Amino acid sequence: MDKIFDKFIQNADNIRETWQIVEFFEEEFKKFKNEVNDYENNITKEQEMLKAIRAEYLEIQDALKNAKIDLERLQEQNKNLETNIYDVDSIDNLRKNIPIRPLEKVDIRLKDGIVVKANPARDVYSKEIAEKYLISLKELRALKSKLMNSDLENAKLKNEIKDIKAERKVI
C-alpha cells in the first residue's frame, strides 16, 4: 500500500485534474485485483496438487500394508517349508518317480581335449546304497529348488518394501 502512495506522490507533479487521480487509483486497483486472482489461482492449483499427493500417499500406504501382509505370509510359508522338509508323503512320491539304472558309459575329458568313453567300475557300492543315494539326491534337488524359490520371492518382496519406503520418504 505504501508503494502505491509513493508512486502517487512521484506522479503528483503530472496530475492536474481529479479524473487523473481517479484513473491512477483505478489502474492500481486493477493491478491489485489481478494479483489477487493470480494468488487465488496459485492457491487452487497447490490445493489440487496437495490432494493428488495425499491420494498417492494413501495408495502407497495401502501398497505397503499389502506388501507387509505378503511378506508375513511368505515368511510363514517359508517356516512351514522348513518344518516340512522331511515330509514323508513328498519323499515317498519322489522315491516312486526315480528311475534307477546303472551307468553304462562315462565320458572322460583328457588334458589335450580328447574325449574318451570308459566303462564305470562295477560293484563298488551295493545296489541298495546306490538306490538310497539316488533317492537322497533327488530329494535334495527338490528341496533346494523349493528353498531357492522361497528365497527369490523373499528378495523380491524386500526390494518392493525398500522401494515403497523410498517413495514414502520422497513424499
Q: What is the pLDDT of residues 91-101, one digit of tens each?
A: 556 666 666 66
Q: Where are the domains of the chain?
A: 2-100+126-170
Q: What is the pLDDT of residues 109-157, one digit of tens each?
A: 888 888 888 877 666 677 788 788 888 888 998 898 889 988 888 888 8
Q: Which of 166, 158, 159, 146 is nearest to 72 (CA)?
A: 158
pLDDT at 1 > cutoff 60: no
Provide mean pLDDT across the span 11-27: 75
Lowest mean pLDDT among 37-46, 83-92, 108-117, 152-161: 83-92
Q: Rounded CA gap, 87 and 85, in Å?
A: 6
Q: What is the pLDDT of residue 40?
A: 94
Distances (CA, A) of 121 to 30, 78, 102: 104, 42, 10
Q: Looking up cell 515403497, which residue turns up?
A: 164
Per-residue confidence band for 49, with pLDDT thresholds at 50, 70 and 90: very high
Q: What is the pLDDT of residue 111?
A: 85
Count of CA atoms in the C-beta half-sphere (13 A) of 141? 9
Q: What is the pLDDT of residue 93?
A: 63
pTM over 0.85: no
Q: Looking up cell 528311475, which residue turns up?
A: 99
Residue 94 and residue 138 in contact, taking contact as beta carbons nearer than 8 Å: yes
Assign 3-class secondary structure to 95-163: HHHCCCCCCCCEEEECCCCCEEEECCCCCCCCHHHHHHHHHHHHHHHHHHHHHHHHHHHHHHHHHHHHH
Per-residue confidence band for 24, with pLDDT thresholds at 50, 70 and 90: confident
pLDDT at 86 > cutoff 90: no
Q: What is the pLDDT of residue 42?
A: 92
Mean pLDDT, the chain, rounded, equals: 81
* Percentage above 90 pLDDT, the chain: 13
Q: What is the pLDDT of residue 41?
A: 93
